[in-house]
Chain A
Amino acid sequence: QKEVEQDPGPLSVPEGAIVSLNCTYSNSAFQYFMWYRQYSRKGPELLMYTYSSGNKEDGRFTAQVDKSSKYISLFIRDSQPSDSATYLCAIGKGGGADGLTFGKGTHLIIQP
């Protein structure tokens, strides 16, 4: 079983819809959770990060973590065509200079 599982999509939704992106992970040692957005031919851009179970909101974005289920989600409200990108979940163990373990990314398309 891979450490982080993420549906690669593509996920296509109409403009204005609520988007739900998800990842599951297998190792309970992971302590912090991030979402990155990557536009084509660009570097990953940090969107959200959280350490604990529950919700964290930032504008139109909400990150949700359920450590008991090892499940993380990113919700995008009022989706815009400019949100079209690949969304990568990333998780880390903390406490040292470990790299992040990334999901394969979900390709999101917002149709105008």
Chain B
Amino acid sequence: AQSVSQHNHHVILSEAASLELGCNYSYGGTVNLFWYVQYPGQHLQLLLKYFSGDPLVKGIKGFEAEFIKSKFSFNLRKPSVQWSDTAEYFCAVRDQTGANNLFFGTGTRLTVIP
């Protein structure tokens, strides 16, 4: 079965610092990749997704992610974080074979200090 690893459980940054959150998955076939965000007191929402094409994906609020197939990775980045980016971030992977289910990582809590 697919597994998704987010090695950073809690990241604390000051405003204007650069952000990179790691995401690695285990399945080697064709995958769809997602990053979701949950702001405090809100439900999950989609930040960005990769299905095919350009491996550098731009999302909302200045976020981007790069799909590196050889490394089974889909890391999330933002050049300069803001206090309002404080949230929980989830990486998710769906493989295109078998059950086609969606697998979530355990999440990374980001705290941005003003």
Q: Do A and B bind each other?
A: no
Q: What is the interface of chain A, defined by CB distance below 8 A to chain B?
A: none
